[in-house]
């Protein structure tokens, strides 16, 4: 079984299932040379200081230089990051990342003059530049977006100082990554037969999905007891994270760190608040699901370590990676042959790092490398969750790939607010494909249970995270301290409120906040919930309408950041200016509960 296999070292990993970073740089010497070339951008940028408002030609040259730098720095930084994530304990790779981060800060400092100068150009002067310099029109949207935030752009000297402080601001996340990836070790879990199972950050989820309750409990307690031993250090990191967020928010004249973070993507804080409000109003549906889970599992007490096990364990699906690939390709074929052909290339050309190895970064992500292609990190287990993770990360990959292919470099990236939509559309299409394909009643019940878990984990759980993060920011803003005791009490209270009276909130769950890496990504998690809700609307439209909806969706995937994020989602059929997508998704959640209740009650 996959969950009892000894975790290999990186050197023992099968190269067929490892990404090929040589497609970025063939040798480490090539990376060194590229790093040096990036450093040469510093005087090239500085040469434009004081000249951006002189004429359109100078401005166009500067913007094109920025595009060139964007590609070069992406390759240097991503190569270092990918290599580091292969083994977070490798000192040489950490040094490479540190050098890339330092370079990024130096470049940011060298470029600090630009935003104040660009914002100082009078509107009528800039319009004259557009008329006299046709190539400049390409950058209108980008310049409008920058100038939208002109009230938060400081003087040149202040911008230099903030840029220099950027490396300090990244410290909490960097320290967390090293602590979680390289330093923490967990005691083995023991199953009902006395067999030992290694516990890792990436391997916890499969253990908690086990039908063996003794194993689930052992893994849960061993994992979180380890974090309890680190809770005061973790609390200090969380305090540092929110203090640095507040520092930068105040420096840029924002009312709160939440407002500052959301404004980077042009998203009003009302979207965040509406999400929290809507989800809290729909907590009775989650409580109903927990009551069903407790009844179905036949438990006197439903514990936190029981929440991830299928309530239809007899239909539990074991899916090797090669089979997972084919399922994903078949499910996403509704998006067209061009879409699927890129996915096949990703599989065949080693864009993907598949299996866990000792020291490898936990979790999963897709990393877009400008001018090359995206890379995908997985920690694949032979289970249904890993199939959905594969589909999820390939959604990010296709969003990045198509935007880079179809947009000028200035718009090739996309903002965080839309980042989770493509990934979740893929998951929704995969689920609907599996539901259509299965003829077995209990397997359908298993899939419905899994779908319900996606709603629980993505809308409810991520909104709970968002509410926790928001409260942390408020405590710091009010002059309070984020002690381990305070954080634990806040987190435990939220779990009790969200999961309701049928769940026993184990004391260990009070430290779960400490192991969540996304809390170091600046109010990121709420977008999983909004993205999931938008994805439900888009995927339903694709399956109902076919080609016209696919065409609109591919247009969204190909649009990068060429429109405001709310307008981008409207292209694909989701209007996030209203609460309708969130409420509709939670209504669907209730319908799925009803269908699962009926299937299980009819079981002979």
Give dist(CA 102, CA 80) in Å, integer.
12
Give dist(CA 165, CA 260) in Å, integer.
16
Q: What is the DSSP letter of 371?
A: T
Q: Long-range contacts of range 548-552, CB-CB < 8 Å, 24 or more positions apart?
A: 549/573, 550/334, 550/335, 550/336
Just list the catalytic residues. Answer: 393
Residue bearing tokens 């729909």 = 282
318 vs 374, higher pLDDT: 374
Give dist(CA 401, CA 376) in Å, integer.
12
Evaluate if residue 2 carries a pLDDT over 50: no
The pLDDT-based confidence of 197 (bands split at 50, 70, 90) is: very high
Token pair for 278: 């809507």
Average confidence (pLDDT) over 25-36:
97
Average confidence (pLDDT) over 45-56:
96
- Coil, helix or strand for 392? helix
Contact yes or no for 577/566 (Cβ under 8 A)? yes
Token pair for 239: 């305090």
Average pLDDT value over all residues in the chain: 94
Give dist(CA 397, CA 82) in Å, integer.
15
User: How many alpha carbons lie under 13 Å from residue 295 in its C-beta half-sphere?
Assistant: 10
Average confidence (pLDDT) over 493-515:
97
Token pair for 288: 């109903």
Give dist(CA 97, CA 201) in Å, integer.
22
Give dist(CA 354, CA 358) in Å, integer.
13
Question: What is the structure's pLDDT at 395?
Answer: 97
Helices (H), 480-563: 484-499, 526-545, 547-557
Average confidence (pLDDT) over 465-470:
98
Give dist(CA 593, CA 86) in Å, integer.
40
Question: What is the structure's pLDDT at 575?
Answer: 85
Average confidence (pLDDT) over 329-349:
98
Helices (H), 266-359: 269-281, 283-297, 321-331, 337-348
Question: What is the structure's pLDDT at 603?
Answer: 59
Angle (CA) 354-355-356 rounded to 5° is: 135
Evaluate if residue 233 carries a pLDDT over 80: yes
Question: What is the structure's pLDDT at 1?
Answer: 36
Query: Which pTM does this prediction carry?
Result: 0.81
Give dist(CA 22, CA 34) in Å, integer.
14
Contact yes or no for 356/84 (Cβ under 8 A)? no
529-540 pLDDT tens trace? 999 999 998 998
Token pair for 6: 């000894």
SS (H, E, C) 362-381: CCCEEEECCCCCEEEECCCC
Give dist(CA 110, CA 129) in Å, integer.
24
Q: What is the dihedral of CA 402, 403, 408, 411, to 10 degrees?
A: 180
409 to 136, 265, 373, 589: CA distances (angstroms): 13, 18, 14, 39
140-194 pLDDT tens trace? 999 999 999 888 988 888 988 998 898 888 999 999 988 887 789 999 999 999 9
Contact yes or no for 164/251 (Cβ under 8 A)? no
Contacts of 136 (CB under 8 A, 6+ apart): 56, 59, 60, 63, 129, 130
Residue bearing tokens 């999905």 = 209
95-148 pLDDT tens trace? 999 999 999 999 999 999 999 999 999 999 999 999 999 999 999 999 999 999
Q: What is the DSSP letter of 377?
A: E
558-582 pLDDT tens trace? 999 999 998 999 999 888 878 888 9
Question: What is the structure's pLDDT at 604?
Answer: 43
582-603 pLDDT tens trace? 988 999 999 999 999 999 876 5
Give dist(CA 547, CA 125) in Å, integer.
44
Token pair for 275: 């999400």
The CA radius of gyration of the chain, in Å to the nearest whole number, is 24
Give dist(CA 422, CA 340) in Å, integer.
14
Question: How many CB atoms neighbour CB 134 within 10 A?
Answer: 10
Question: How many CB atoms neighbour CB 356 within 10 A?
Answer: 23
Contact yes or no for 203/226 (Cβ under 8 A)? no
The pLDDT-based confidence of 5 (bands split at 50, 70, 90) is: low
Q: Count helices and strands (H / E) in the chain.
A: 26, 7
Question: How many CB atoms neighbour CB 14 within 10 A?
Answer: 9
Question: How many CB atoms neighbour CB 584 within 10 A?
Answer: 15
Contacts of 92 (CB under 8 A, 6+ apart): none
Evaluate if residue 46 carries a pLDDT over 70: yes
Which domains, ranges and CATH numbers included, belong to the chain? 2-169 (1.20.140.70)
Question: What is the structure's pLDDT at 576?
Answer: 82
Evaluate if residue 440 carries a pLDDT over 50: yes
Question: What is the structure's pLDDT at 153?
Answer: 86
Give dist(CA 582, CA 533) in Å, integer.
5
Give dist(CA 523, CA 526) in Å, integer.
7
Least confident range from 153-157, 469-473, 543-547: namely 153-157
């Amino acid at each position: 079984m996959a969950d009892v296999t000894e975790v290999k070292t990186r050197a023992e990993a099968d190269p067929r299932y490892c990404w090929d970073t040589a497609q970025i740089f063939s040798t480490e010497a090539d990376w060194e040379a590229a790093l040096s070339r990036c450093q040469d951008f510093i005087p090239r940028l500085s040469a434009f200081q004081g000249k951006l408002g002189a004429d359109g030609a100078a401005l166009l040259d500067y913007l094109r230089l920025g595009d060139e730098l964007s590609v070069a720095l992406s390759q240097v930084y991503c190569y270092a990051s990918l290599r580091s994530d292969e083994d977070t304990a490798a000192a040489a790779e950490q040094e490479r990342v540190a050098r890339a981060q330092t370079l990024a800060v130096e470049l940011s400092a060298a470029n600090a003059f630009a935003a104040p100068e660009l914002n100082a150009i009078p509107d009528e002067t800039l319009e004259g530049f557009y008329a006299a310099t046709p190539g400049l029109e390409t950058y209108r949207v980008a310049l409008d977006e920058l100038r939208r935030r002109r009230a938060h752009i400081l003087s040149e000297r202040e911008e230099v100082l903030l840029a220099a402080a950027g490396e300090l601001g990244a410290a909490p996340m960097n320290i967390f990554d090293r602590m979680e990836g390289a330093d923490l070790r967990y005691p083995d879990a023991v199953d009902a037969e006395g067999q030992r199972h290694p516990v890792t950050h990436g391997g916890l989820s499969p253990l908690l999905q086990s039908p063996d309750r003794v194993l689930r409990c052992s893994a849960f307690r061993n994992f979180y007891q380890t974090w309890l031993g680190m809770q005061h250090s973790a609390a200090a990191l969380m305090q540092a994270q929110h203090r640095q967020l507040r520092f930068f928010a105040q420096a840029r004249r924002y009312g709160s760190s939440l407002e500052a973070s959301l404004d980077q993507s042009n998203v009003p804080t009302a979207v965040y608040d509406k999400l929290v409000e809507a989800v809290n109003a729909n907590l009775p549906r989650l409580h109903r699901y927990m009551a069903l889970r407790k009844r179905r599992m036949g438990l006197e007490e439903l514990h936190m370590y029981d929440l991830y096990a299928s309530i239809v364990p007899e239909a539990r699906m074991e899916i090797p990676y090669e089979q997972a690939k084919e399922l994903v390709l078949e499910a996403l074929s509704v998006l067209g042959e061009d879409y699927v052909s890129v996915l096949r290339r990703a599989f065949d050309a080693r864009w993907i790092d598949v299996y866990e190895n000792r020291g490898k970064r936990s979790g999963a992500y897709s990393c877009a490398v400008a001018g090359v292609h995206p890379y995908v990190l997985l920690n694949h287990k032979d289970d249904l969750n890993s199939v959905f993770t594969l589909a999820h990360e390939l959604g990010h990959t296709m969003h990045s790939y198509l935007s880079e292919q179809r947009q000028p470099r200035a718009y090739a990236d996309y903002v965080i607010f839309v980042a989770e939509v493509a990934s979740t559309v893929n998951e929704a299409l995969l689920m609907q494909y599996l539901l259509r394909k299965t003829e077995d009643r209990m397997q359908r019940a298993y899939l419905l249970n899994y779908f319900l878990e996606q709603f629980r984990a993505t809308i409810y759980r991520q909104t709970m995270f968002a509410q926790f993060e928001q409260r942390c920011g408020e405590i710091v803003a009010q002059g309070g301290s984020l002690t381990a005791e305070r954080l634990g009490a806040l987190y435990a209270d939220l779990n009790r409120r969200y999961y309701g009276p049928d769940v026993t909130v184990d004391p260990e769950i009070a430290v779960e906040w400490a192991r969540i890496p996304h809390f170091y990504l600046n109010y990121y998690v709420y977008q999983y919930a909004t993205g999931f809700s938008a994805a439900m609307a888009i995927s339903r439209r694709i399956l109902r309408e076919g080609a016209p909806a696919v065409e609109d969706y591919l247009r969204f995937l190909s649009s990068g950041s060429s429109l405001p994020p709310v307008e981008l989602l409207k292209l694909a059929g989701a209007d996030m200016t209203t609460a309708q997508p969130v409420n509709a998704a939670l209504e669907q959640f209730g319908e799925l509960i009803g269908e699962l209740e009926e299937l299980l009650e009819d079981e002979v």
